[in-house]
Amino acid sequence: MNACIRAVTRAAIFEDWRVFGVYRGWEGLIMGDIKEFNSASVSNTIQRGGTILKTARSEEFRTPEGRAKAYKNIQKFGLDALVIIGGNGSLAGAQVFASEYDIPVIGLPGTIDNDLYGTDSTIGYDTALNTIMECVDKIRDTANSHDRIFFVEVMGRDAGFLTQNSAIAAGAEAAIIPEDQTDIDQLATFIGRGIRKSKNSSIVLVSEKDGGAMHYAERVRQEYPQYNVKVSILGHLQRGGSPTAYDRILASRLGVASIEALKEGQRNVMVGIKNDQIVYVPISRAIKMDKPIDKELINVLGILSI
């Protein structure tokens, strides 16, 4: 997020535009928590996790009165355009706001969940993926030494990208993801494959949705009591830490592209990346369309976990 704030700030200043940081997202726009940035405002930030602008969920922005207050501050500070970095919630806010008020809005995809349509990757996703992989590498030492089945719970809200890809990266035996909720019971499939035929321990990554890891661990304890089961919930450590090179570069490219988009006169689009090329996606599509998980990834994990 910071790498992106830095890129937007500096790309705007490069064009001789003035740039203002709005603290705590929509909430800060309502409260007038807005400060002019210069190039030094974003010095020494590219390597830092979290966001120097802070963030908040704003209930008030969901109301027309809240959005009217936000627009008043836009006029007060003389803002000509907004660049919004965030996930589904932030961009849904952008969509509503842009439909009510005449101001160009550019969205940038910032979420570890990678669940925005029209971009191959979102800012923060790769860093979270690497963090999860490193954690699972460490958990594996216990799983292996003690002959245990570990259910490791991974974030992602309604999306299984983090779970599926970190399972492949960490060499896990299975991933249980929301997108694969067919009639076939994913746990039974995993057990049915013979979890311990060739191995003495197993690691299963489970998306946080629908009871997450606890739910599946409890089921194994009830249905297959012969196994020694443990649960690890990775939680918010997945959202922190210094970003990977991939994320820093992605955030920098998207941040610069957001200013290019404004120069071109684009409005109400999210800037994304597809096949390593910058693309514009209408915000309405980015937040509403389903981004499917490639079935090939599910296949790869299945083949490699024998």
Residues that bind ligand F6P (CB under 6 A): 87, 111-113, 155-157, 208, 239
In the beta sheet, which residues pair with residue 19?
Answer: 37
178 vs 282, beta carbon nearer ligand F6P: 178
- CA gap 296, 294 in Å, rounded: 5
Q: Nearest approach, Cβ of 159 to ligand F6P (angstroms)?
A: 8
Q: Nearest approach, Cβ of 176 to ligand F6P (angstroms)?
A: 16
212 vs 255, beta carbon nearer ligand F6P: 212
Angular region, 303: left φ>0, alpha ψ -120 to 50, beta rest? alpha
User: Are the CB atoms for 26 and 93 separated by under 8 Å?
Assistant: yes
- CA gap 117, 242 in Å, rounded: 25
37 vs 216, beta carbon nearer ligand F6P: 216
Closest to 282 measured CA to CA, from 156, 157, 98, 68:
98
- CA gap 85, 288 in Å, rounded: 17
Q: Nearest approach, Cβ of 158 to ligand F6P (angstroms)?
A: 9
28 vs 110, beta carbon nearer ligand F6P: 110
Rg (CA), the chain: 22
111 vs 165, beta carbon nearer ligand F6P: 111
User: Are the CB atoms for 187 and 174 separated by under 8 Å?
Assistant: no
- CA gap 83, 42 in Å, rounded: 16
- CA gap 168, 174 in Å, rounded: 9
Q: Strand 82-86 vs strand 149-154: parallel, antiparallel, or unpaired? A: unpaired
| Burial call 134-143: b when 16+ CB within 10 Å, e when fewer | ebbeebbeeb
Q: Nearest approach, Cβ of 239 to ligand F6P (angstroms)?
A: 5
Catalytic position from the list 16, 102, 113, 247:
113
Q: Nearest approach, Cβ of 58 to ligand F6P (angstroms)?
A: 13
Q: Is there a catalytic annotation at residue 113?
A: yes
Q: Nearest approach, Cβ of 258 to ligand F6P (angstroms)?
A: 21
In the beta sheet, which residues pair with residue 152?
Answer: 205, 232
Q: Residue 90: what residue type?
A: S
Q: How many residues does the chain have?
A: 306
Q: Measured between alpha carbons, how far is residue 272 from residues 118, 182, 261, 298 in Å?
A: 7, 30, 11, 24
Q: Nearest approach, Cβ of 306 to ligand F6P (angstroms)?
A: 30
71 vs 216, beta carbon nearer ligand F6P: 216
User: Are the CB atoms for 84 and 24 separated by under 8 Å?
Assistant: no
Residue nearest to ligand F6P (CB): 155
Q: Which residues are catalytic?
A: 113
